[in-house]
A and B are shown apart, each in its own frame.
Chain A
Amino acid sequence: MWTFIARRLLQSIVVIFGVTLISFVALQIGGDPTYLFVSERATEEEIAMVREALGFDRPLHVQYLTYLANVVQGEFGNSLSYRQPAMEIVLGALPATIELTIFAMTFAIALAIPLGVFAALYRGTPVDGGIMTVAMFGQSVPGFWLGIMMILFFGLSLGWFPISGHVPFLMPLLEGDFATAFANLPSTLYYLVMPGIAVSFYSLSRNARLVRSSMLEVLGQDYVRTARSKGLNERTVVVHHALRNAWLPVVTMIGLEFGFLLGGVVVIETVFSYPGIGRLVFNAINQRDIPVVQAAVIVLSVVFIALNLIVDLVYARIDPRVKL
């Protein structure tokens, strides 16, 4: 196992290198970003001075290699907009997004599994039809539209949930302020309901269908028929025999889900004015705040790589046939 982990860590360095290179090139495609950081009345001399101060006058490969050399030393540069350390800004926004993503993932999994199981058990009945219709709707409707509709209905018309905003839980927790963190927790969850559901709806729908398919396959197996023949009650057959094996592809999907949700929060964070990393990166791309984008790419890559590793380890634990 340790060899496997070491090998994956070495591979991850290559991955991080690759994503920083791709994001760097992508950000440079739009041309010289200097103009976004000078006044429209700036003279040519002033523009040249700013270009030099920001390092944009150097050849692209020099800019990139300098950046890599600094990253190795733990220096991620200063945000061009905020004029503060880019990594600090990114890490400041990350807890909010993690809260949203954990909420969304928990909601998606907690509902997807029973919905998928029920759909499989009542296959061909209106229960199955209803669940699959909702699932199809969930996979078809754009997240931003769902978010806006939820704001109008649940937020504005009914007044059940806050329309926008965020109350931090993770940030004070990480700072050691446990009293504030746990005092905030009910409000944090309250503010997470609508954006969390908007983010997770697609995932919930997809996973419900996946669980249904997986369960249907397993329920048709001989050992399930044998378990029923032995006189075991249906709950034991489903939970202890069928679901245990139907679980395997779902674990893979769930493991990747976090990374997928992390990438999908941009629009939802904007709709709900949620101050997370998705919105931060979106603004940074628009403003060509290259250090912030690069720092965010590194952070998200590390998170994704770590999750993939955990999924593989868990999978190996669940399925003894899988060898690392």
Chain B
Amino acid sequence: MRLFKYLTAAGAAGLLLCTTALATPPEDTLVVGLSADVTTFEPANISSRDNANIARHIFGTLYSIGGDGTVSPDLAENLEISEDGLNYVYTLREGLTCHDGEALTAEDAAYTFNRAKDPANGFTGNTPGFVFSSIGFQSAEALDDRRVQITLAAKNPIAFGLIAEVYIHCKDSYEKMSADEAAGNPVGSGPYKLASWDKGSEVVLEKVGEPAKMQRIVWRIIPEASTRTAELIAGNVDIITNVAPDQIDAINASDIAEVQAIQGTRRMYVGFNLSDAFKAMPGGDAIQDPAVRRALQYAVDVPTICKQLLNFECERATGLVNAVNANKALTPYPYDPDMAEKLLDEAGWPRAEDGTRFTIRFQAGRGRYLNDQNVVLAIAQYLEDVGLKVEVDMMEWASVYVPLLRERNVGPLFFLGSGGALWSPLYDMTDLAKVDAGTNYTHWNDPRWFDRWTDIANAKTPEEQRVIIDEMLKVFYEDGPWLHLYFQPDFYGVSNRVDFVARPDEKVYLFQTGLK
């Protein structure tokens, strides 16, 4: 009996000691709940959005891109582009320092670029893999203490925006570190530094400069969506990402948080794989005809999919460019199944006796995009309603679908989303910059699109460039390889105590976020 009493008292005391676990974060601390783990702080290996969101607080960039798409100076105060478009000279601001106390100069900036490109380092992150490939980066050189020159292989109209994604880091520290050490010891010049990293659990950043409203930002890894929501409603986290549509009402009904739904920039589409390998497949021959592809544009009720399955009235797509930069003369295809049927009949694919026009396989990865499984099934049903027999093939995303996708071997229909931007239509269009581009999963090769890239590069004025872009987008709208769907919305759960405003480009930058 005495033992029982003792144990009860000890247990109660223990619980009392532990109640701090349930407290609201301190007033100088912001807590963010992320869905995916962080794997590295090596700036040239960072590729995931969650990882990049944290890293951006540690590292500065030469220029930065605002939530509205404006590109503005950050570490650099000025940019000069040579006449031939090959050399970009950035002038750094005065008085910049690294977290190790050393001055940040043009030499550090040049080192950053050259280090990321060096094949001996084997980096595969966003910088070497995406940015450098896209802009044709050749080399970087410090012209003096404050001016760094970035040299490209060819003139590139979107280089200025992509260079803004490169994290500038500090040569002195990185030269002393091994690859392993660099992965866990980032030395940048951003307003925050890495205070601690408990792998799989949380990352803690501490303020070291401006702009930074909060002294500390804690990024907690909470993979399960309902757990993230519970933590937000309990008041233990301030912001959560990737709120599932079915949890929006629960968050909004709480007194402690609300959901910020924002129209994102990710282009969601059904791709038509037009390669020779798929021509022989059922349905693969049908979709070779632009008239059939155009007919299917009318078959899918995109607004209803958005409203019912995503709980949002999505921006409709007329092509691959975000609406703010799209061809304003084009309007989204309306949902008109009668028109779809009429056009399919005219294209030479009438319904057979069993009501089927043709059979086609529709492949998709599971669990990558918002409610993707149900969206795919809904699209399949709409296509069945106009006479297609659709064989849906849902696959595990990372290890099954992605390899097939990267081999450009998904189809004949496939569901995919591609990250976009607001700062230039060309950024969105470069998914299909070349016929053999890795991101041309459709194998589309219409010269009315691909031959015009030279014209864009040679355009003398932005207005001239715009005319070419609009012409290309019209071709894409009418005869392109995508069934245009929507731009994916993003849902953030935000505590009522913070003044966070979500961005449309999936970036979570908290420099200006503080308490209300």
User: How distant is A324 from chain B, measured CB to nearest CB, in Å?
Assistant: 37
A/B interface sample: 20 pairs, CB < 8 A: A30-B403, A35-B402, A35-B403, A36-B402, A39-B130, A40-B406, A42-B129, A43-B133, A81-B39, A81-B40, A148-B224, A155-B230, A164-B220, A165-B21, A165-B201, A166-B201, A186-B18, A190-B21, A275-B199, A283-B37
The closest CB in chain B to the CB of A272 belongs to B227
State in angstroms the CA–CA spacing of A288 and B403 once bound together: 11
B280 at the interface (CB under 8 A from A): no
In the assembled complex, the CB of A103 is this many whole angstroms from the nearest CB of chain B, namely 14
Q: Pick out which of these stretches binds chain A: B177-185, B371-379, B457-465, B470-478.
A: B177-185
> Looking at the complex, which one of A42, A275, A280 makes contact with B438 (CB distance below 8 Å)?
A42
Q: Are B220 and A187 in contact (CB under 8 A)?
A: no
Q: Interface stretch among A7-15, A84-92, A207-215, A304-312? A: A84-92
Instruction: Determine whether A273 belongs to the interface, using a CB cutoff of 8 Å to chain B.
Output: yes
- CB distance B439 to A151 under 8 Å? no
Candidate in A31, A93, A280, A288 with the most chain B CB atoms within 10 angstroms: A31
User: What separation, in Å, do the CA atoms of A270 and B15 have in the docked complex?
Assistant: 24
A-B contact count (CB 8 A): 154
| Pairwise interchain contact A156-B230, C-beta atoms closer than 8 A | yes
Partner of B400, one of A30, A78, A287: A30
Which residue of chain A has the shortest Cβ distance to B130 in the bound complex? A39
Query: Which of the 9-residue segments A45-53, A58-66, A105-113 touches chain B?
Result: A45-53
A33 to B406, CA, bound (A): 11
Residues of A near any B CB (own CB < 8 A): 30-33, 35-44, 46-47, 49-50, 53, 78-79, 81-85, 89, 92-93, 148, 151-152, 155-156, 159, 162-166, 186-187, 189-191, 270-273, 275-276, 279-280, 283, 285-288
Distance, CA A156 to CA B22, complexed state (A): 10
Question: CB within 8 A of A83: which of B14, B42, B134?
Answer: B42
Q: Is B110 an interface residue (CB 8 A)?
A: no
Please judge, given known A-B contacts A39-B130, A40-B439, A41-B134, whether A50 and B124 are in contact too, CB under 8 Å. Answer: yes
> Is there contact, CB below 8 Å, between A37 and B403?
no
A292 to B402 Cα, complex, angstroms: 20
Given contacts A33-B403, A37-B124, A162-B22, contact A82 B227 (CB under 8 A): no
- Taking a contact as CB atoms under 8 Å apart, the answer to whether B403 and A31 are in contact is yes
Pair A83/B438 contact, Cβ less than 8 Å: no
Q: Which residue of B lies closest to A148 (CB)?
A: B226
**Taking chain B's interface residues, is the majority helix, strand, or loop, or is none over half, making it mixed?**
helix
Binds A, one of B79-87, B92-100, B231-239, B264-272: B231-239
Question: How far apart sit A81 and B180, CA to CA, in the bound complex (Å)?
Answer: 12
Knowing that A39-B124, A43-B438 are A-B contacts, what are 7 other residue pairs whose CB atoms are under 8 Å apart, sorted by A's residue number?
A30-B400, A35-B407, A43-B133, A44-B438, A163-B227, A191-B21, A279-B223
Partner pick for B439 among A41, A50, A273, A287, CB 8 A cutoff: A41
Nearest residue (CB) in B for A187 is: B18
4 closest A-B pairs by beta carbon, nearest first, are A39-B129, A275-B200, A35-B406, A190-B18
B439 surroundings in chain A (CB, below 8 A)? 40-41
Shortest Cβ gap from B254 to chain A (Å):
10
Let me know if A82 and B39 touch, CB within 8 A.
yes
Q: How far is the CA of A191 from the CA of B18 in the complex (A)?
A: 9
Chain A nearest Cβ from B219, distance in angstroms: 12
B281 within 8 A of A: no
B3 within 8 A of partner (CB): no
Q: When the two chains form their complex, are residues B119 and A49 in contact, meaning their CB atoms are under 8 A apart?
A: yes
Q: Digitize B476-504: 1 where CB-to-A-CB distance is under 8 Å, 0 elsewhere.
A: 00000000000000000000000000000
Q: Are A38 and B129 in contact (CB under 8 A)?
A: yes
A181: min CB distance to chain B, Å:
15
Q: Are B398 and A286 in contact (CB under 8 A)?
A: yes
Please, which residues of chain B bring their CB within 8 A of the CB of A35?
402-403, 405-407
Q: Which of A33, A39, A84 contacts B183 (CB 8 A)?
A: A84
A49, A79, A151: the one contacting B226 at CB < 8 Å is A151
Residues of chain B with a CB closer than 8 A to A53's CB: 122
Chain A nearest CB from B286 CB (Å) reads 28
Q: Which single residue of chain B is at the shortest CB-CB distance from A279? A: B200
**Shortest Cβ distance from residue A299 to the other chain B in the assembled complex, whole angstroms:** 16
Once the chains are docked, how many angstroms separate the CA of A162 from the CA of B198?
Answer: 18
Contact residue among B40, B184, B234 (Cβ-Cβ distance under 8 Å from A155): B234
Contact indicator B21/A39 (Cβ below 8 Å): no
User: Does B17 belong to the interface (CB within 8 Å)?
Assistant: yes
CB distance from A147 to the nearest CB of B (A): 9
Specify which of B198, B220, B403, B438 is in contact with A40 (CB 8 Å cutoff): B438
B14 to A189, Cβ gap below 8 A?
A: yes
Residue B222 lies at the interface, judged by CB distance under 8 Å to chain A: yes
B439 to chain A, nearest CB (A): 5
B47 within 8 A of A: yes
| A142 shortest CB reach to chain B, Å | 14
Minimum CB distance partner of A27 in chain B: B399
Contacts of B230 in A (CB 8 A): 151-152, 155-156, 163-164
Task: Kindly supply a per-residue 1/0 record for chain B positions 111-134, scoring 1 wherever the CB is within 8 Å of any chain A CB and 0 otherwise.
Answer: 000000001001011101110011
Give Cα distance in the complex from A186 to B405, angstroms: 49
The smallest C-beta distance from B390 to any residue of chain A, in angstroms, reads 25
Known contacts A33-B399, A187-B18, A190-B15; is-contact A39 B47 (Cβ 8 Å): yes
B133 pairs with A42, CB closer than 8 A: yes
Q: Is the CB of B398 within 8 A of A83?
A: no
Contact call A38/B39, Cβ cutoff below 8 A: no
Of B124, B183, B221, B437, which is within 8 A of A38 by CB?
A: B124
The reply to whether A270 and B223 form a contact with Cβ atoms under 8 Å apart is: yes
**Bound CA span A39–B438, Å:** 9
Residues of B within 8 A of A155 (CB): 230, 234
Q: Give the residue name and chain of the A residue nearest to B20 (CB).
A: A187
CB pair B236–A163 under 8 Å, yes or no, is yes
